[in-house]
Amino acid sequence: TEKGGRFTRIGERCLVMSGVHVGHDCTIDDGAVISTAAGLAGHVEVGEGAIIGGQSGIKQRVRIGPGAMVGGKSAVLADVLPFTLVAGNPAQTHGLNLVGLRRRGAQKEEIRRLQDALRFILNGHQAAAACPKA
């Protein structure tokens, strides 16, 4: 669309599996993985290295942060913070994507600080269960 820049962009080293729908005016950054039968509505932004599980649906104008992971069969209705793990219908934050952070070389102290920040952002909502120990 004219407002969206009139193009959909898929970055380098992405893995887009079979049956995926990528809507108009989407941006998928480098290294993202979109698993089988996932659907992205228009104007969705997927950050670098993010993973979207199979059969998940992403509502229009939602941003999936870099390094985030969306569990399979999730319905994502709101933005997903970077390096978090979300799942469910509707998707809820279940903590940090610890595997993704470790693969990127994050140290224990960095992960601990990120967990503290996530707890602060969630402001007690789901916070007790959301951030398992690194």
> Annotated catalytic sites, by residue?
24
Contact 51, 33 (CB under 8 A): yes
Gyration radius from the chain CA atoms: 15
Q: How many CA atoms lie within 13 A of 36 on its CB side?
A: 1
Q: What is the 3-state secondary structure (H, E, C) of 42-89?
A: CCCEECCCCEECCCCEECCCCEECCCCEECCCCEECCCECCCEEEEEC
Calpha distance 4→26 (Å, rounded)? 8
Contact 51, 37 (CB under 8 A): no
